[in-house]
Amino acid sequence: MAPPQIISAEFSLSAHRADQCPGEGLPEVAFLGRSNVGKSTLINTLLGRRKLVRTSATPGCTRALNFFVINRRWYFVDLPGFGYAAVSRDLKAGWGRLVLDYLGRRESLAAVVFLQDGRRRPGPEDLFLWEFLRDRGRRVIPVLTKADKLKQGERRRQSGHFAEALAPLCVVPGDVIWFSALTKEGRDRLWDRLLDCLGGQ
């Protein structure tokens, strides 16, 4: 399946509370991962936009659920990163409650793109979120970022480590998409998975 033509991609709103999210209707894809894993960059690359989603070298740049309406058909939702962030503990706790409430209850959520740094193994927070999503029946697309920074042998080892860590959650190496914003590797394959989740729209 070819990637869709992106006719329009616009920022819609930032939600700091669940009641600030747009009304249920258009299907949504959420982008989840640790702080500074490259969520915003990946969204920009998927959409062929350079600066639609704000990017920063400072972890914790995204502090709300940021909704972007794509082709007036779907929302892409850039979620706050978890793990290290240069913000207060109280703020991070608030983000966690907001994100878990959204991931657990949002009826319009068609898929979650779960980004992990391809050079690292899943940690306790990653595994907790994988189990949380599985228990709620969410469709999850695993993406390993920074693909251009690893050689093929290193990738095979990392794919094995990743699949081993997530084997209890039924994640296998073939499910994993390697992605590079630099080379665009993985972009078309990820779009295939997204369109499948969005009903081929």
C-alpha 110, offset from chain centre: 12
Asked if residue 3 belongs to a domain, the reply is no
pLDDT of the residue at 31: 96
Given a cut of 50, is residue 61 above it in pLDDT?
A: no
The pLDDT tens digits for 1-30 are 678 899 999 999 999 888 899 988 899 999
Q: Which domain holds residue 80?
A: 9-197
Asked if residue 1 belongs to a domain, the reply is no
DSSP per-residue codes, 52-79: SS---SSTT---SEEEEEETTTEEEEEP
Specify which residues 167 forms β-bridges with. Answer: none
pLDDT of the residue at 86: 45
Asked if residue 4 belongs to a domain, the reply is no
CB 39 within 8 A of CB 78: yes
CATH number of the domain where residue 155 is located: 3.40.50.300
Nearest C-alpha neighbor of 123 from the set 176, 157, 82, 73: 82
Given a cut of 50, is residue 51 above it in pLDDT?
A: yes
Round to whole Å and give the CA distance between 101 and 110.
15
- Number of structural domains in the chain: 1
